[in-house]
Chain A
Amino acid sequence: MLFKIAWRNIWRNRTRSLVVIASVAVGLFAGMFMMAFFQGAVKQEIDSTVETQLSHMQFHNPAFIDDKDANYTIYNGGAIIDILKKDTKVKAVSGRVITTGMISSSSTAAGVEIHGIIPGDEKAVSSISQDIVEGTYFTGLKKNEIVIGKKLAEKLAVKLHNKIVLTFQSKSGDLTAGSFRIAGIFRSRNSTFDETTVFTQFGDLAGLLGTGNEVHEIAVMLKDGKNAEQVTKMYKKEYPLLLVQTWKELSPQIALLTGVMDQMMYIIMGIILLALMFGIINTMLMAVLERQREFGMLMAIGMNKPRVFFMILLESVMLTCAGIPAGMLLTIGTVGYLAKNGIDLSSISQALSQFGFSNIIYPDLEQSMFIPVILMTAFTAILSAIYPAIKALRFKPAEAIHKI
């Protein structure tokens, strides 16, 4: 019975009902969109660093981290790479030979970290190959090609095809040098990386270092980045003597950034829900005041207080139930579109576009988010109805009727 009355009440004042439904829908949309946006933003941050430098997982000889001596190679590195390549969770593997040394041009010199890579493997693991601004990644046709960052090229005053000399300590401790030609220049988001990291071909570097087929670093990209911890754990057990790390362990700063964002997100969600709550309370309050006469009459003809209370609550519930699907539709539509096309931040902010990098965020909605957000919104909406409902009960039937 209450149900029918509540239903009819809703239809009687369509404007009011519509406003409440819309508020709930917008509230839900806001919550969802925010989460999706946040996830997208965080993902973008992580992805760019993971894709250019960290990868999902890396292997090292534990001694190598502190002192990048050529001798600290990964025991049986080749075999490990083969095993990794066969792992179904693994998307790509790249074994690298690494040393620190000096790069010199005719005008000056600088300290750098030199990576010897196999272009085919490395391309699948690191996105630097896509950040080439001049020249090519590696043709593989010539010996002693080198790819350096734009900032470094500027510092050394060199251009494409210029010659530079790399000097470093070989495995036996002797000072070794080799001349290389610049085959390509890259530019990543991290100009410090550009200034201090150079890439050569595995064979060329290993030859000068005297390390043969041994590797210092194995970088792994997984098919699903979220498995990183799980997969790493497995390999840690398998190779207790090696240092196996996830990208989070390799770069605590990035991990921190995401952690901070998570907490901020909850706080902001909270604020949005509060805003929603007040909006609804006000609307409902207005509505209740407006219906003073109606409530007075109902109470006069015998409806008891609890019934009135529940009737109002029921109306809220029904409106919320209508609002939620509307909100969901809005969300799925918007986020669906944006997830494909992304939101280009640099077109919004002048200050940002000056850096020359496109800054696109793809909102990312996780299914697991749906239920919690829906529940929170529904809860808030219904909670908002309580205060006005209580207010309604205070009406004295006689006064109310007089308002006619």
Chain B
Amino acid sequence: MKTIQHILLTGSALVIISSFAFAQNAKEIVTKAEDNIKGLSSVTEMTILIKRPTWSRSMSMKGWTKGEQYSMIVVTAPAKDAGTVFLKRVKEIWNWLPNIERVVKLPPSMMSQSWMGTDLTNDDLVKASSRIDDYSHKIVGDSVIEGRKCWKIEMIPLPAAAVVWSKVNMWIDQKDYLELRLEFFDEDNKLVNVMQGSDIRTMGGHVMPVKLEMIPVQKKGQETVITYNSATFNQPISVDFFTTQNMKKAK
């Protein structure tokens, strides 16, 4: 009798500990994946393709980022929009519009507007919430994406978190900790948004998905595709680079 009890006790303890361990692991995995993106400073060139049921548009851009808090993007093509600059400083967003020669700060009311006409909003870029701190994480399985084995991690926002989703599923590649797929669910458990990374290559010394698709599932025929054409990482860029004066000179 005692042995059985003993086994049961140890067994349950093990289960508890291991699930505990697993939970920790999930968070650690996510942290690692996020840090992958955060710690970097980068200079990239990309093409953004906006697809809609009746039309599509393509833009080319060059961007500088320092961590998640500072970024500057200048549009290089088409000619009509060339020279438009987008600057993010921590939680502020600024625009430089060459044809009217004005620097404009985006007020909160414009936050819900789409960023540059894409399926991302200005708010998404500012990202008021943190994927690490605002969610609880749990590994719920394995999947293979783009030929790579991935953890499927279920993230549930904490009660006080300023997040509209009820659940976010994230697939993280087990080798390089790349965030390869994200699924966003509303409170009726309906899939609303999907972010899919593909075409994994080494660029500028880093392994990364070169193609990112943002798909609003409920809106048929609509998506935004970001393709990185070139990237260099960890070049020293000072915070002073990201200023409104510099916006006018960005090239």
Check whether chain A touches chain B (CB < 8 angstroms): yes
Does the CB pair B192–A106 fall under 8 Å?
yes
**A164 at the A/B interface (Cβ < 8 Å)?**
yes
Does any Cβ of A come within 8 Å of B164's Cβ?
yes
Interface mask (A163-181 → B, CB under 8 Å = 1, otherwise 0): 1111111000011111100
A119 → B minimal CB distance (Å): 21
Within 8 A of A (CB), among B159-204: 160-166, 184-187, 192
Partner of A177, one of B162, B185, B192: B162
Within 8 A of A (CB), among B105-143: 107-109, 111-112, 121, 123, 126, 128-129
Which residues of chain B are within 8 angstroms of A44 by Cβ–Cβ distance?
A: none
Residues 156 to 206 of chain A near chain B (Cβ within 8 Å): 158, 162-169, 174-179
Residues facing B in A132-154 (CB within 8 A) are: 143-144
CB distance from B89 to the nearest CB of A (A): 11
Bound-state Cα–Cα, A168 to B108, Å: 6
CB neighbours of B112 from chain A (8 A): 102, 104, 108-111
Residues of A within 8 A of B206 (CB): none
In the bound complex, do residue B187 and residue A175 qualify as a contact, i.e. CB atoms below 8 Å apart? Answer: no
Q: What is the CA–CA distance of A100 and B111 in the complex, to the nearest angstrom? A: 12
Asked whether A101 is an interface residue with its Cβ less than 8 Å from the other chain, the reply is: yes
Report the bound CA distance from A174 to B123 in whole Å.
Answer: 13
Report the tally of A-B residue pairs with Cβ distances under 8 A.
Answer: 74
Interface positions, chain B 8-49, Cβ under 8 Å from A, are none
Given contacts A102-B112, A109-B112, A174-B91, contact A165 B218 (CB under 8 A): no
Contact partner of A175 (CB less than 8 A), chosen from B92, B121, B160, B163, is: B92
CA distance A57 to B112 in the complex (A): 34
**In the complex, what residue of chain A is closest to B165 when comparing beta carbons?**
A106
Judge whether B164 and A106 touch: CB under 8 Å: yes
B121-A178 in contact (CB<8A): no
Q: Which residue of the partner chain, among A107, A111, A174, A176, contacts B109 with CB atoms under 8 Å?
A: A111
Known: A106-B186, A107-B192. A169 touches B164 (CB 8 A): no
A49 at the interface (CB under 8 A from B): no
A175 touching B108 in the complex, CB below 8 Å, given contacts A107-B186, A164-B164: yes
**From residue B92, how far is it (CB to closest CB) to chain A in Å?**
7
Contact A177–B184 (Cβ < 8 Å): no
Which partner residue on chain B sits nearest A106 by CB separation?
B186
Most A Cβ at <10 Å: residue of B109, B123, B165, B166: B109
Among A106, A144, A169, the residue within 8 A (CB) of B187 is A106
A180 nearest in chain B by CB position: B162
If the complex has contacts A175-B91, A175-B126, are A105 and B111 also in contact, measured as CB distance less than 8 A?
Answer: no
Contact of A102 with B108 in the complex, beta carbons under 8 Å: yes
Question: Are A167 and B128 closer than 8 Å at their CB atoms?
Answer: yes
- B84-111 contacts to A, CB under 8 A, are 91-92, 107-109, 111
Residues 104-134 of A, flagged 1 when their CB comes within 8 A of B and 0 if not, give 1111111100000000000000000000000
Q: Please, which residues of chain B bring their CB within 8 A of the CB of A163?
A: 163-164, 166, 187
The answer for the CA separation of A107 and B161 in the assembled complex, in Å, is: 18
Contacting residue for A179 out of B92, B107, B161, B184, CB 8 A: B161
Nearest Cβ on chain A to B70's Cβ, whole angstroms: 15
Chain B nearest CB from A196 CB (Å) reads: 12
Instruction: Indicate if the CB atoms of B164 and A167 lie closer than 8 Å.
Output: no
A102–B160 CB distance below 8 A: no
Smallest Cβ distance from A71 to chain B, in angstroms? Answer: 15
Q: Which residues of A contact B107 (CB under 8 A)?
A: 169
A110 vs B126: C-alpha distance in the bound complex, in angstroms?
Answer: 17
Bound form: Cα–Cα A167–B160 in Å: 14
Residue of A nearest to B158 (CB): A179
Of all A-B residue pairs in the complex, the 7 with the closest CB atoms, nearest first, are: A109-B112, A106-B186, A177-B162, A177-B128, A175-B91, A179-B162, A111-B109
Residue numbers of B with Cβ under 8 A of A are: 91-92, 107-109, 111-112, 121, 123, 126, 128-129, 157, 160-166, 184-187, 192, 218
A-B contact pairs, 14 of them (CB 8 A): A100-B108, A102-B108, A102-B123, A106-B185, A106-B192, A107-B186, A109-B111, A144-B160, A163-B166, A165-B162, A176-B128, A178-B162, A179-B157, A179-B162
